[in-house]
A = this chain, B = another copy of it.
Amino acid sequence: MAGSRRQAGRPVTPVLNRERIAQAALELVSADGTQKLTMAALARHLGVAASALYNHIGGKADLTGLLQDAVMGRVDVSALKAFREGTGTLESALADWARSYRDVFAAHPSLIPLIATLPISGAPATRRMYDVVAAALGHGGVPAQQVVPVIIAFESFLFGSAMDVHAPASIFTSQPGESDAPHFQRFVESFTATLAVTAGGTGGDGREPARDDGERNPYADAPFALGLEALIRATLKLVP
């Protein structure tokens, strides 16, 4: 790739390559969202001229594919690969893949709307991920026509679940005096009380643990486990 070698004695600046550009693009969208991702903004963020970027990136579409690969390439498909090679069960391999997928996108929530609707053509790491998942589902006996619908159903759930990781812990909390959703409020309290107890009773009065700092939503894991199991069961039931 052009620009990957430098003459001896030149100032030491990090070599510009697609990996470094992908990392910078990820930083940029994580901070500012995908709308701010332009070749010009990326060049600024990297401290290089836009023309230098174009030595490595064909343009905005190429950049988007690079970003997609940088994220999708982190999704751990090793359990699905192992299952296809004869080790483990489809059930547990799907669960491992889904947990990794959710974690990867929870680390980059601003990318979800973009990647959820982005063609995978021209994104080799992304295509590799889909190929392993599809091959494992086929190997597990899911009928050919159902493999892609299964993957999309999982992804829809995983994208939404990754967003929920960033919901504030107080998303369903009523303010004092707010009494217009009594049923819902009662069920919210039943749910958060269980978790406060599980987490060591930090809530004291059985209400939610004091935790609303924009970090990981403590109430995201139970719904995720419930939905994931539902999808895995439904997938296994497709096997004749």
Query: Interface on A for B, CB 8 Å cutoff?
Result: 33, 35, 109-110, 112-113, 116-122, 124, 127-128, 130-131, 133-135, 137-138, 144-161, 163-164, 166-168, 170-175, 178, 180-184, 186-188, 190-191, 193-194, 219-220, 222-224, 226-227, 229-231, 233-235
Contacts and interface: CB of A to CB of B under 8 A. Distances in A.
Interface of A is mostly: helix
Contact of A180 (B128, B159, B173, B230): B128
B147 A156 contact: no
Task: Give the oligomeric copy count.
Answer: 2
B190 A153 contact: no
A138 B186 CA distance: 10
A110 B113 CA distance: 8
Contacts of A231: 227, 230-231
A41 to B, nearest CB: 15
In the A-B complex, the 4 residue pairs with the closest CB atoms: A156-B160, A230-B234, A153-B227, A152-B223
Contact of A156 (B152, B163, B186): B163
30 contacts: A112-B113, A112-B163, A116-B163, A117-B164, A117-B166, A119-B173, A120-B172, A121-B173, A121-B178, A127-B174, A130-B184, A131-B180, A133-B184, A134-B184, A134-B187, A135-B183, A138-B187, A144-B187, A146-B226, A147-B191, A148-B187, A148-B191, A154-B227, A155-B160, A156-B164, A157-B160, A159-B163, A226-B234, A227-B234, A229-B234
A164 B168 CA distance: 25
Given A113-B113, A130-B181, A134-B184, 16 more contacts: A35-B35, A112-B113, A117-B164, A119-B172, A120-B171, A127-B181, A130-B172, A131-B184, A137-B187, A146-B191, A148-B184, A153-B226, A156-B223, A159-B159, A230-B230, A233-B234
A145 B196 CA distance: 12
A227 B128 contact: no
B174 A121 contact: yes
B164 A152 contact: yes
Contacts of A152: 164, 219-220, 223
A113 B109 contact: yes
Contact of A190 (B135, B144, B160, B227): B144
Contacts of A153: 157, 223-224, 226-227, 230
